[in-house]
């Protein structure tokens, strides 16, 4: 399947009739990419909605429809500048191979400002727009065979879908639906429903009048229970969405309460008490410093003089020690000379010895006493007291410095507390902020209670449905005796069980293939080839689990935002590959939060290989000058268009070419 042309006439911001050539097969060669550039709000998503709306009509999952009825949505899509009697029209020309033949169809949908009966006018043209096709009445079935609505989300997706898939642990419902369609599970479910219908028909055929009445009563009750369940389930989803919205509002109210000083205002008294406590601590430290000042601390003003006195005292003490030693040596020499005079040694020898001893004492005295004459004349006890005083003074200085640092820190803490108090909201503003937070909390509590009540009611309905089904089955076993129908019913039960086993095995086989494709696509897009060795997909929730070379899990929170987005794209790409369908791929806002390396990998590896036709809708910051030049260099672009939006007229025109 290839999209050849998209025509927009008075659709959204596109006034008049504007035509986009989407054919990737040019006269020269085949280039897969059709590149459309536009700024945010310029009409890129409108083009995606136009393709979906043309293909699927009221079943289309368009971005701006929300809870609008189909008629209201069509009215919303009408260009605001056209006259009431003018038509809004969208056309999509595509070609497809059917029975080994190439056929073309042009889908045309048109409507006015207030569409009749809330519907559009559908027309299908074939054979170069010459003959009307007979596919109008069966178009929904026809397009389901080519591009089923569920699977279309694998080929027509946008950046928000990729972001949601990247951030959630389990795929969103729209992707789960596509996966089930891809795996063929909806066929197994449809067969199970058909078997149940067959069994019910055989029950009615086998029952007598009373049995039939009982069966109909049970079936009526079961039908009503199922209808109640569906309605309650829709209500439950609505309440769940409301609860999420109210929780967001509560967070916003609390954030506003914090940012505008509400929390500080609530804590004002505590902050002021802290200020007072800090002031008392500072006063205590200052009192301690006063005590230091009353002791030896003032002597720090003459610390240099004290040091000089201490040095001089040490020198004079040394002088006294040397003098004492000299006196002792002289006394000893005198005793030695007296002894020598009494001995038989001659007086000449004694004189020589006396001369030597005198010179020796004088030289030693001169050697050890090289200081000036004493003038301090302090005794040993006074010098010891001086040493103790200097030691005590040094400790006092250190203590004073520490206390000064404490005072400085306390004063900075007081300034910080004063600033916090100054940012506190005024009492009347605080009350408004407080009331807003309490109101949001009350609304969340009420919504949560409603949510829980509805959830329990839903579980109760589910239990009642199971009970009714069991009662219906039991009634059949006990009251329907015809063997032929019993055989069919019993066989159907066996088939149901076999079908369940078949579905499980089919799921496992398809998921094994899908796991390998997703891993290969992820590693192909990723520049870290050793990050992931294996990817596993849960058979029930379809959530992804990553494992490294050692078989250890790789938590998704360890991946960067860009790596998560590449994993989501690899998941969608792998699903598209496993589907085996040759279909176009359209991507809105494709590059999101990717860094330069991941962006380069996506541009060079994914876009040219995603499909035989790739429609890219991008802003100038996603596919920038570097990326578009790379795509041109690789000859991957067939057509380039620029969506020029005029903010004054709120209209968009389609021009040939890109931003650069």
pLDDT (0 to 100) of residue 550:
87
In the block, tokens 């009492």 appear at: 427
**Per-residue pLDDT reduced to its tens digit, 623-638:** 889 889 999 999 999 9
Count Cβ atoms below 10 Å from residue 528 Cβ, excluding itself: 12
- Tell me which of 442 and 176 has the higher pLDDT: 442
562-588 mean pLDDT: 85
Count Cβ atoms below 10 Å from residue 232 Cβ, excluding itself: 18
Question: 653 near 624, Cβ under 8 Å?
Answer: no
pLDDT (0 to 100) of residue 655:
95
Mean pLDDT, all residues of the chain: 83
**Is the pLDDT reported for residue 370 higher than 60?**
no
Question: 145 near 82, Cβ under 8 Å?
Answer: no
**Is the pLDDT reported for residue 202 higher than 60?**
yes
**Is the pLDDT reported for residue 285 higher than 80?**
yes
Question: Which positions ≥6 away from 605 have C-beta within 8 Å?
Answer: 524, 525
Nearest to 317 by CA among 386, 389, 383: 383
Stated pTM of the model: 0.55
Report the distance separating Cα 583 and Cα 595, nearest Å: 29
103-121 mean pLDDT: 86
**Is the pLDDT reported for residue 592 higher than 70?**
no
DSSP 426: P
Tell me the β-bridge partners of 105: 94, 126
Report the distance separating Cα 470 and Cα 461, nearest Å: 14
pLDDT (0 to 100) of residue 425:
60
């Amino acid at each position: 399947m290839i999209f050849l042309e998209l025509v927009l006439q008075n659709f959204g911001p596109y006034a008049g009739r504007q035509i986009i050539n989407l054919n990737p097969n040019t006269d020269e060669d085949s280039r897969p990419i059709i590149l459309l550039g536009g700024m945010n709000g310029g009409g890129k998503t409108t083009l995606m909605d136009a393709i979906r709306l043309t293909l699927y009509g009221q079943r289309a999952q368009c971005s701006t429809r929300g809870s609008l009825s189909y008629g209201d949505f069509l009215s919303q899509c009408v260009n605001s500048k056209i006259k009431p009697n003018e038509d809004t029209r969208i056309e999509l020309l595509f070609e497809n191979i059917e029975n080994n033949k190439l056929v073309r169809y042009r889908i045309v949908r048109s409507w006015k400002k207030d569409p009749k009966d809330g519907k559009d006018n559908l027309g299908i043209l074939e054979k170069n727009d010459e003959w009307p096709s007979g596919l109008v009445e069966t178009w929904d079935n026809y397009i389901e065979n080519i591009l089923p609505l569920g699977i279309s989300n694998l080929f027509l997706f946008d950046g928000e879908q990729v972001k949601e898939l990247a951030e959630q642990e389990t795929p969103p419902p729209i992707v789960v639906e596509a996966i089930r369609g891809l795996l063929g599970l909806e066929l197994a479910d449809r067969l199970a429903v058909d078997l149940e219908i067959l069994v019910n028909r055989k029950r009615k055929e086998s029952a007598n009048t009373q049995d039939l009445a009982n069966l109909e009563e049970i079936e009526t009750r079961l039908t009503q229970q199922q209808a109640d369940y569906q309605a309650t389930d829709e209500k439950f989803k609505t309440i769940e969405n409301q609860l999420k919205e109210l929780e967001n509002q509560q967070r916003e109210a609390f954030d506003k309460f914090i940012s505008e000083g509400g929390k500080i205002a609530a804590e004002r008294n505590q902050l002021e008490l802290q200020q007072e406590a800090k002031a008392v601590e500072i006063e205590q430290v200052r009192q301690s410093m006063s005590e230091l000042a009353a002791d030896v601390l003032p002597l720090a003003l003459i610390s240099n003089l004290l040091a000089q006195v201490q040095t001089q005292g040490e020198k004079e003490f040394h002088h006294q020690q040397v003098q004492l030693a000299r006196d002792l040596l002289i006394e000893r020499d005198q005793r030695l000379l007296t002894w020598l005079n009494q001995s038989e040694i001659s007086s000449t020898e004694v004189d020589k010895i006396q001369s030597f001893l005198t010179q020796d004492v004088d030289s030693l005295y001169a050697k050890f006493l090289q200081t000036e004459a004493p003038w301090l004349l302090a005794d040993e006890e006074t010098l010891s007291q001086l040493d103790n005083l200097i030691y005590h003074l040094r400790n006092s200085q250190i203590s004073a410095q520490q206390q000064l640092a404490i005072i400085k820190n306390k004063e900075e803490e007081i300034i910080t507390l004063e600033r916090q108090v100054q940012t506190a909201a005024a009492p009347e503003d605080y009350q408004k902020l407080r009331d807003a937070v309490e109101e949001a909390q009350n609304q969340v509590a009420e919504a949560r209670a409603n949510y829980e009540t509805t959830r329990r009611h839903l579980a109760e309905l589910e239990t009642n449905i199971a009970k009714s089904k069991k009662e219906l089955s039991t009634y059949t076993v006990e009251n329907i005796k015809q063997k032929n129908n019993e055989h069919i019913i019993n066989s159907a039960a066996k088939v149901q069980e076999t079908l369940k086993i078949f579905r499980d095995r089919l799921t496992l086989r398809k998921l094994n293939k899908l796991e390998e494709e997703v891993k290969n696509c992820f590693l192909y897009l990723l520049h870290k080839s050793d990050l992931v060795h294996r990817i596993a997909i849960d058979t029930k929730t379809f959530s992804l689990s990553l494992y490294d070379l050692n078989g250890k899990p790789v938590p998704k929170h360890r991946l960067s935002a860009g790596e998560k987005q590449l994993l989501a794209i690899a998941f969608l790409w792998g699903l598209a590959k496993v589907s085996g369908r040759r279909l176009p791929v359209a991507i809105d806002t494709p590059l999101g939060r990717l860094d330069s390396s991941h962006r380069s990998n996506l541009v060079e590896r994914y876009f040219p290989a995603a499909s035989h036709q790739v429609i890219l809708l991008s802003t100038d910051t996603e596919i920038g000058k570097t990326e578009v030049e790379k795509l041109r260099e690789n000859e991957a672009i067939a057509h380039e268009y620029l969506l020029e939006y005029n903010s004054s007229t709120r209209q968009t025109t389609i021009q040939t070419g890109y931003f650069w």
